[in-house]
Amino acid sequence: MLPVIARLLLSAVLVSAAWMKVCLESASRDHQPVGWTHFYLTDPDTLFTRAIERLKEGPALDLDGGQNILKGLLRTNAASGDRWVDAEGAFVQAGQIDKAEYCLDRAAQLAPNSAGTLLSIAIFYLNTTKPRNALPYFGKVLGGATDYDATVFNHFDTLHLSFGQIVASGGLPAQPRAVEAYFRHLLETGDLANAREAWEWLGPRSREDRLAETYVNFLLGRGLVEKASAAWSSQLGAREADFGKSTFVLNGGFEHEPGGTLFDWQIARDEHVQVSRESSSLRIEFDGKVNLIYQGVSQRVFLPRGAYRFEAFVRTAGITTDEGVGFRVSMMETARVTGTTDWKKLEGTLVVDAPVKLVEIQVVRRQSLRFDSLIAGTAWIDQVSLSPLLSKEGWLRHQENVPVP
């Protein structure tokens, strides 16, 4: 008995389902808008594709049909952010800019964190009479992914706006990462004015030394030595309170490992020379195999106009040949130390007769002309300094033969 009842119930369900399908597929179309037929039986993606095709075909009937489909999707919120971006392109092609802008507003609401969507919105505004409206969307893109940096920065170039105008309009996020990336872009394109504005903006936000080095080299490459000197001094800030005043040498006592920033000590590799920091001094060891010309330890220094005294202390152990270890600063050279000695002060004076000059301090050893010319032994250097003898004003008075008080 039960199997018979079960079969009857199953038959009733199948018949009901078939009847509903027939009713749906043959429903009256008298009150359905063009292009909206069978909406409840059609995938929304398919509907969007159909609408875009109709909008792109051009005839009035197709435009109306496509718009009706999009309006139906709007009522049901069935469209994704990407689909609204697609619809924007179709409305732009149809010359309906207001509707295109509305589609992008909906796309931004549905996908507020999508870099692709935000970039599409920004590019839309670039191509309208309201290009500055693109900037907040560019700012959001830069605040997220890094993949679009180059694209956004190239669009900034086409706007011909200052760095300050871009920031004020929301084109750059508050975090330094994006601004540092844009700063490097400005250096690559040679935009000095905007690079300077970006540098000043980054100042209170902990600029990295490597970024500062890039900027300093950019300025030096354009012959802007005074600006390069000022940029480097501002980068050091409170870390080196006496730098540029009573001393012009960084890490002169080798309190930390050299070779960090561009204007710290630089050490060139040489297979016959070993250089290392030892007890707050710099140890240089020669292997005795070659008669080499050596200038492998150096530091670049900005010096304003004036007169300076250079001092350094050197200790040696078993330095062979007649050509030992000394210093060269610009055109000035100190005495050189050979043999075995306790700490010995090497010194000299130099004059800078230019507003600012970039000079290089080098540890040097000249090639020997003697038959026993191979250099061996160890030298230590410490307490390297450049101190002003005459300030800029004092030097100018000296040049005019006015007694210096």
Tell me what pLDDT residue 187 has: 96
DSSP code for 119: H
Given a contact cutoff of 8 angstroms between Cβ atoms, the answer to whether 335 and 269 are in contact is: no
Report CA Rg, the chain: 37
Tell me what pLDDT residue 36 has: 42
Say whether domain 266-399 belongs to CATH 2.60.120.260. Answer: yes
Q: How far apart, in Å, are the Cα atoms of 57 and each of 49, 72, 92, 93?
A: 12, 20, 13, 10
Which string of DSSP letters, residue by residue, matches 253-318?
T--S-S-SSTTS-EE--BTTEEEEEETTEEEEEEESS----EEEEEEEEEEEEEEEEEEEEEEEEE
Instruction: Provide the token pair at 384.
Output: 């390297």
Given a contact cutoff of 8 angstroms between Cβ atoms, the answer to whether 272 and 287 are in contact is: yes
Q: What does each of the 405 residues of the chain score in pLDDT, given as a tens digit?
A: 545 555 544 454 444 444 444 343 444 444 444 444 444 445 556 656 666 666 555 555 455 655 566 556 555 554 566 666 766 666 666 666 777 777 777 777 777 778 888 888 888 888 888 899 999 999 999 998 788 999 999 999 999 999 999 999 999 998 889 999 999 999 999 999 999 999 999 988 878 888 999 999 999 999 999 999 999 888 887 677 777 777 899 999 999 898 767 788 999 999 999 999 998 899 999 999 999 999 999 999 999 999 999 999 999 999 999 999 999 998 899 999 999 999 999 999 999 989 999 999 999 999 999 999 999 999 999 999 999 987 556 655 665 665 544
User: What residues contact 162, with CB distance under 8 A and at least 6 apart?
Assistant: 193, 194, 197
Residue type, 235: Q
**In the chain, where are the structural domains located?**
266-399
Tell me what pLDDT residue 175 has: 84
Q: What is the dihedral of CA 294, 333, 309, 396, to 10 degrees?
A: -120
Tokens 């872009």 appear where? 185
Instruction: Provide the token pair at 57.
Output: 């075909």
Residue closest to 99 by CA, chosen among 68, 61, 60: 68
Given a contact cutoff of 8 angstroms between Cβ atoms, the answer to whether 395 and 308 are in contact is: no
Partners of 381 in beta bridges: 282, 314
Given a contact cutoff of 8 angstroms between Cβ atoms, the answer to whether 197 and 215 are in contact is: no
